[in-house]
Chains A and B, each alone.
Chain A
């Protein structure tokens, strides 16, 4: 039973380019969460999605950031026109359908470096 898969593990982008981070949840999980972690800091909630729906995006910056979780395929976190401040580890986590009390299963993260 494969865990949460994130790719790429490491991503380097120049300022102004686009970054696309992918997350495949665990089998049977239809809830996906994205978190950002700056070096030496905690996990900051960004967005919570179910299949084809954004449930809570209160942690997403209003500009340049978007997320989707299509019916088929992985969840995508997209950052347009990246800036140096976007450099961070981005973690995706998943949980089973309709189970508010279940723990989150995290992927290994994508470490984004903006040069």
Chain B
């Protein structure tokens, strides 16, 4: 079945350090989305990538979709305490249901 793995599971960084989470799918994805969930909150959509090799930026966040459309990454430059939360990738293989990755929980130490 569809599996989307993320590494690392947890990441603790000092405020100002960079952070990267990686997402890998067992199958080719038609598109990939990224979500952020604050502690005690619900997932909130960040961005969607569709094209092979696509790179998108949102301020300090850089999202990348692999050439084979099986992996993706999210990189945060100079983390801030507001970046705390769990980051999930989510992919579709063509059907409408969206499978979420295992998530990376980011802790930022002030």
Contacts and interface: CB of A to CB of B under 8 A. Distances in A.
Interface of A: 31, 33, 35, 40-45, 48, 55-56, 58-59, 91, 93, 100-101, 103-109
Contacts of A35: 100
A106 B44 contact: yes
Interface stretch (B13-21, B53-61, B69-77, B89-97): B89-97
A55 B96 CA distance: 9
Interface of B: 1, 30-31, 33, 41-45, 48, 50, 88, 90, 92, 95-103, 105
Given A100-B92, A101-B50, A103-B48, A45 B42 contact: no
A35 B98 CA distance: 10
B97 A45 contact: yes
Max chain B C-beta neighbours (<10 A), residue from A31, A40, A42, A104: A42
Given A101-B31, A101-B50, A107 B42 contact: yes
A9 to B, nearest CB: 11
Contacts of A42: 88, 100-103
B46 to A, nearest CB: 9
A23 B43 CA distance: 16
Contacts of A44: 100
When A and B form their complex, which 8 residue pairs have the shortest distance between CB atoms, in order from nearest?
A: A103-B45, A43-B100, A106-B42, A42-B102, A42-B103, A48-B97, A56-B97, A106-B43
